[in-house]
Structure 1
């Protein structure tokens, strides 16, 4: 089968509508409150006194949970990603997500039952990028509330999800096992954007910088384009003391991921300025970490000096 023939067959799936994926639970106030607490936003209610789910939670309600493809009874068993498997079978083995865009028709409130359907929207012509050569595949997920309006299901939002299935460029033939030296595993580098670049540049200079809203003076972390308190876009960065306490912590045992030590204690640190951030705890045995323990930031370099991370060490 020629490239044109197999892709013609794959393109017959464009426009296919897949069945419903239901939410395990109704939209409920405990999950909303936990989300708002973790995201640092205020719980809001509508004119009827019902709690409003933050729009960004829309995907959360219909997720399967920690067990893959574990959807509620009545959900479709069709695989909306089947076309990706067919493209992969023709040696387009790599996948990268390139777009994920949520739009909202209205607020979702506690007590509603949700589901979504999936439609294969488009498959691009063959494209060549810096990653390699392949196809962009676009899926549309429409979210509905069951019998929300006049006894009929009502659309509440939509997710556009696009992936690139490709053959990697510049694939090198590996050296024979006897000749290949074991690669030195590096720590993964953080994602750096215009919003957080100041934080990582400050770390390289041995400074712990926190974003401050110049409108209301609120300190917040992680950095973002908008103040979560007053919604101002104006901000600067201030150096903080680096002193704090362990507000909470976890000890990661598995999986054992090089080059991290194991067990690996990770702390949620509350700085004396009132801001919390997540960082690795050093200079202490995992079993000795305690909530309320006083800690101080220190800056350590990794990856042959390419990466500087703020870590926290207990204060005697």
Structure 2
């Protein structure tokens, strides 16, 4: 990016806010129906949003230093007696802070109120575009004017249906244009969200029905061979140590540690939001079972992490579903 005087330099998207790739061209006119609201909104195009505005502070070295520290920008052009301001600070010198600017005309607020009244109550910043004609230097006092440059027709996006509104701010020093800042938002009515997908239900059969009944009662039951005393999980019709067919149960304490784990990223599956950790947990009683680890970010799960069982209830059209998960035990391990 050039910072020399002379030819204009354009930077697009420098201050963009993440919007899931939403851009005006990505929308579509909804249904072809007459857009009476859109016609009213078009009447705001060209109306001033701010007149004869003045920066709250002149361009100054402390603000430049704070900006560069926040951005991690060590360019020597922004330090010393001949310092210039980073070009992307252009908008910063026009901000009104908590007290705002008396130069606001009210037209922009009226436009937003009209959109609010129509149901377009949500807003997201989509992109900005800046053009620089000469560098700003400490001591420059900026003035500015803003105009509602354009209002799109009605667009439908993944976020919802609404209108893109673009404002243009011309920034001057001593009457000379030094830069232009365009800022675009999408003001929209949120799309209806699909109800969350139901949690997959476990397959319950005659061999494991006792385990799932225990879970429904918030008890973690382990099979125990009555011939040799070996504990086993998952539940089986016979002992894999001695072959005995008789068994009873022991209630686990629920304490355990992560024996191994994986972090699921793909494929995404309804009712789950990747990434998430799936662990093989070794219970204090010695058996192991697979479940989710909760209560800690997925990238903080580790082998040996102490965990404790927790029973979570999920509601869906088939009724309540209780599942055992393992919560990380803070301050241990």
TM-score normalised per structure 2: 0.46
TM-score normalised per structure 1: 0.48
Larger radius of gyration: 2
